[in-house]
Chains A and B, each alone.
Chain A
Amino acid sequence: MPEEKQHRTVIAVTDGASIPSRKDAGLFTAWRVSFVGSVALLIYLSVFHSDPYFRILKFLPDGIFITFQVTVEAILLALIIGLFTGLGRISKNKVINGIASVYVEVIRGIPLLVQLFYIYFALGRFINVPAMASAVIAMAVCYGAYMGEIYRAGIESIPKGQMEAARSLGMSHSQAMLHVILPQAFKTILPPIGNEFVALLKDSSLVSILAVSDLLRRGREFASETFTYFETYTMVALVYLIITLFLSKLISRMEERLGVNQ
């Protein structure tokens, strides 16, 4: 069926970790080398050079927890903001479309770090938002704009005939969207959303500037007390690497399970 092919459109990934493709077969894939290598290095350092490496490792889990907390909360919020942005971007209503488009343009034009400063320090003059909440809001507002583009591309990848068929049965536009278009678009947008999650997890290291005790911040606290900068940041980098590699793999597995790659 001609429409079936269109329907499997893959959205180009512009940001974030690359997701291992199933075509990378064999024992020595880039992913395996990186993952096994970093885990082995982490274990080696912790066991054979336990001072200071193991001490550093014991100091980090609180930070890992905060990093995940920021990432998960921000991504959930971004998914909601993104849905409305994406719907706004395809809306025929000029006002709604205009607002959504301007939002995307503005946010994409400002570096995330500047946005973080802006929400926490600049807006701090008018309203006092706690650091953690500022961090989550800033990340969500930023990623919501990117997510909006993913939703838009996902919705637009569904053949026009699907909406027409739903409308010709008497469904309203929102019923058709909810029951026919979005469930199909979801399959298409799942991989890029997974990518955004990994990208957001990495970008969440920026919130350490706002005195949020994430993984990077915990590392900095440890390093500045013990002056073990090399050792600490080596461990921080390894922990980030292991987490993102693991998540990328998980996402590609999930993707296969859902048959997105058919």
Chain B
Amino acid sequence: MSTNDRRVMVHIRNVDKYFGHLRALTDVSLDIYDGEKVVVIGPSGSGKSTLLRSINQLETIDAGTIIVDGFNLTDPATDINKVREEIGMVFQLFNVFPHKTVLENINLAQMLVRKRSREEATAISMELLNKVGIAEKIHQYPTKLSGGQQQRVAIARALAMKPKLMLFDEPTSALDPEMIGEVLDVMKTLAREGMTMIVVTHEMGFAREVADRVIFMDYGAIVEEGTPEHFFTNPTQERTQTFLKQIL
């Protein structure tokens, strides 16, 4: 890849992470460039979610360096809230706020964190709800929505912060099959618009179509990375081949 002229959005160097005695990440190094779409795949327990969650410090790392958009997360002087404003995150279980309506879900952080007025926030929320295709649900509570709709609310909520980077942690794994498509479509639109995205997923079709680069992790380490073409037609590592055989 011709990456030397592009800006590094996420710089990860020699990262280790332990859960008790379990080594969840082993000497992980990775650079993700502005506008790049990276899909991380691997068996469960391979450390892919932990890596993703380390990027906005939902997990704190035990060794190594992570620099996001110029902010060094391992530097105690870094205001993590400031960094997180620039990083949108979408979770497997949506984590929409059940006590707030769809509109309030999306307005809340805009008003509290970005200090937008209610009118400004609502205008942005409406625009995003149109984009994710649930504008007619704004005054509903999330519990009345399907899983796919809730996940689209969660995506809109993250986008409302106007992040520079979006993290997706298995966004379709908790969804019924018929709802996966509607969420992936929103993500594809986002990718076309040039958003920098890191996606942990088991959706190989999505990886093939959208990813600039696919990363395969196993036992807390990056085993292999490459373009989707390289990855799906001609993987070099044996573990990658085994994994792909199992899931494809």
Which residues of A does B touch, CB under 8 Å? Answer: 1-4, 7, 159, 161-162, 164-172, 175, 179-180, 183-184, 187
Contacts and interface: CB of A to CB of B under 8 A. Distances in A.
B186 interface: no
Interface residues of B, number: 30
B50 to A, nearest CB: 13
Q: Which of B96, B109, B154, B174 has the most A CB atoms < 10 Å from its CB?
A: B109
A175 B84 contact: no
Given A169-B109, A170-B81, A164 B98 contact: no
Most buried by B among A7, A165, A169: A169
B17 interface: no
Q: Is the interface of A mostly helix, strand, loop or mixed?
A: helix
A210 B222 CA distance: 71
A1 B98 CA distance: 11
Contacts, number: 73
A169 B84 contact: yes
A21 B88 CA distance: 43
A169 B93 contact: no
Name which of B88, B95, B113, B143 has the most chain A CB atoms within 10 A of its CB: B95
B99 interface: yes
A11 B161 CA distance: 36
B56 interface: yes
Contacts of B147: 1
Contacts of B150: 1
List the 4 closest A-B pairs by CB distance, nearest first.
A165-B95, A169-B109, A170-B85, A161-B95
Given A4-B143, A170-B161, A175-B112, A164 B84 contact: no
